[in-house]
Structure 1
């Protein structure tokens, strides 16, 4: 009799992810599973565990739900471990974005790079390394999937500090393909891409429909939209992450990304909201096409409020009597989207290709083998193998090489608690242009987040 497989989700309080993962496993129906939920907040863990059990019982699925606030209770025997944690939660995230505004530095997301992303890394990396060491000790053969940000820095740090083979997953490329399919007015199943780069700056440079290159078709769409804008000016929609509108997306909602496409023939998969942070020199004081980043362009307060609303509504489903809503079982967009498919490909050696964050290992020529890139990887019974990425050359590759420079300093600062390295990382990142400001930012961040920065005490 086959052993029941076990997946441990650390950060189960990420209710939307947890709901999506359980719904996907219920519908995938491959083997017998235990889904173990871990969160450090006992009240939230109780609510999400209740919701998970209701979903399983409602569908009469052969899935066991277990939970604990202590991950070491759950890790023994795990085949897969998934992290979706955010050290400090939404309040710390807010301050990562808002503290730099004292120094006229504006960013809309703050979870990957620039001062906010580098600050987040200082909180996240020590905890992620601790988790990895527990995996190394309690379930060393388990696959370790990370969804937490900053993705590139976390995966780099964990691989540097442990022997755990962590794989970073993000739905950015999935989002980019859906976005381009809507731009072209075709079913996303007909569209294929090749992309390479860093998490939140993965360049989709080979874009095809039914195997045919569609670069010119995309340029034609942009040209028509520009002509229409001359006749009837378009009002920008700065935040539509789920592509909810029925009409074709307008290139003017992501002007930087389409400028790159016209110039280089490649587009960032997650378009402007994330991409702008990799080019702070283009947007001094956050000035972005007549708006200000993080305030009225991709406003961070709206993003957090929206997430809190979805989160609250999801947890309430576990608290109420009766069945959960049918829509909770529908295949939904989000970070969890491909996890069940990835696991199935690994277990059954289906050798499917996914966009993953793993060491380069020769996939892209001219970039160090140990650099963590977001590239196509094949999920086999022997684990993930990177694919050689043909045609990723020119300015887009040079931009990635440049952006990798601050990752090493960010990781070393987080691992060692070295304030000077933290300041150096911000200088090399490019959003900070004088060392006094860099040092002041480090001091401000440490004062604000001191409870989450033990290495700096």
Structure 2
């Protein structure tokens, strides 16, 4: 019987979304759902939700290795340190005058989210290789590029694919903007997670970029978005939201005028994180009272259920994945985590060779990957100096602070996160 292990299953909203999509496939109705979390209350809630979703075979465990036994697929969605660590990622940099919007991918927030996640990934990789070495690890946890490059470095035998829905929703929303059904669109996207690019975008052989240009020209409000600003300057549309995209370059968050022009919501993810906690509490309380849990807040389309369905049935489909760059994008560093199309089938996940990105896009991606590489190196080599190097090389941090302020900020973040950086 096919077994899916959810690690970090206490992220109940996301667990519900994935379970809904998994169980929508008749071929997966009899699969075993194995749930793991270190929080017993959240794990109990996740188990109840899995049974409400219609899962016939559900098991729960506070012991990760026990939960992984016999798994064919492992879905990772942990958030090390939870909401309190997220608040520190915002509060400490803010005290130095550094603005962030999301803080989970790059920048000082992304660096420290990566550093506190790496010790967990060491343990997860060891457990998978010990009890289910043939399983696919499907990673949703951010910072995606850092986590994938780290796993490729420390556990090269592990079968890993990083999954993110940003490309799907970019194509969905852009197609709606130009009046074309997204399911009829052909596209090619590649780059790095949260900073990939729509390289080709067509409907019945017609390039849709001119239609996007016309839509932008007709609506001045669209120009007040970072993504549109980047598109107009670099020639290709980026695949992550303006809130995210503003943090990966030096030009926007430092300047109050740009924050206002582009309507950037400072500390946006701190608010989202608090809302996630509130949603969990409402769900927990409803289940305790014997009531229906609150409805899911969005009709998400996730890749993990599609991967699982293809592994079980052999159905071929193409999605976007994050994997180590083994010649897939020729003008980005070897071994770096890149986001490319991949074919799914019964044998697994097969990334596509893309070739060279346009030079200006590769240049931005390399700036992004410099921070990733230094953060990973700090952990792999045990060299804390590389944490400071990563912060110094981070575009938005370097634009906002002096070198002395960056050094002091890194020290403050190390103190704030304490034992989480050592896996405690």
Decide: shared fold, TM above 0.5: yes
Corresponding residue of 1:49: 47
**Alpha-carbon spacing, 1:338–1:320, altered in 2? closer, same or farther (3 Å):** farther
Gaps of 5+ in 1: 227-249
**RMSD over equivalenced CA pairs, Å:** 2.3
Deviation at 1:305, TM superposition (A): 3.0
Cα deviations across residues 243-297 of structure 1 (Å, max 9, x unaligned)?
Answer: xxxxxxx51452x211222233311112311111111344326653427987x44
Alignment of 1:349-388 (within 5 A): 349-388=314-353
Deviation at 1:82, TM superposition (A): 0.8
Corresponding residue of 2:239: 269
**Alpha-carbon spacing, 1:374–1:286, altered in 2? closer, same or farther (3 Å):** farther
Gaps of 5+ in 2: none
Deviation at 1:392, TM superposition (A): 2.7
Cα deviations across residues 22-59 of structure 1 (Å, max 9, x unaligned)?
Answer: 21222111143100110100011112212221232xxx
**Alpha-carbon spacing, 1:264–1:454, altered in 2? closer, same or farther (3 Å):** closer
For residue 244 of structure 2, give the secondary structure of its aligned residue in structure 1: helix
2:275 to 283, 298, 306: 306
Instruction: Check whether the contact 1:377–1:385 (CA below 8 A) recurs between aligned residues.
Output: yes
Distance 2:114 2:263 in 1: 21
> What's the TM-score once normalised by structure 2's chain length?
0.92
**Alpha-carbon spacing, 1:323–1:438, altered in 2? closer, same or farther (3 Å):** closer
Corresponding residue of 1:211: 205
Corresponding residue of 1:332: 299
Instruction: Check whether the contact 1:39–1:68 (CA below 8 A) recurs between aligned residues.
Output: yes
Alignment of 1:10-21 (within 5 A): 10-21=7-18
Distance 2:381 2:255 in 1: 31
Distance 1:116 1:14 in 2: 20
| 1:22 paired to 2:19 | yes
Aligned length: 419
Corresponding residue of 2:421: 453
> What's the TM-score once normalised by structure 1's chain length?
0.85
**Alpha-carbon spacing, 1:286–1:443, altered in 2? closer, same or farther (3 Å):** farther
| 1:5 paired to 2:18 | no
Cα deviations across residues 411-457 of structure 1 (Å, max 9, x unaligned)?
Answer: 121334432111111111231354422321222112111131227x9
2:126 to 133, 139, 142: 133
Distance 1:363 1:289 in 2: 35
Which segment drifts farther, 105-114 or 354-363?
Answer: 354-363
Instruction: Check whether the contact 1:107–1:293 (CA below 8 A) recurs between aligned residues.
Output: no
Distance 1:422 1:319 in 2: 44
Instruction: Check whether the contact 2:103–2:269 (CA below 8 A) recurs between aligned residues.
Output: no
**Alpha-carbon spacing, 1:143–1:189, altered in 2? closer, same or farther (3 Å):** same
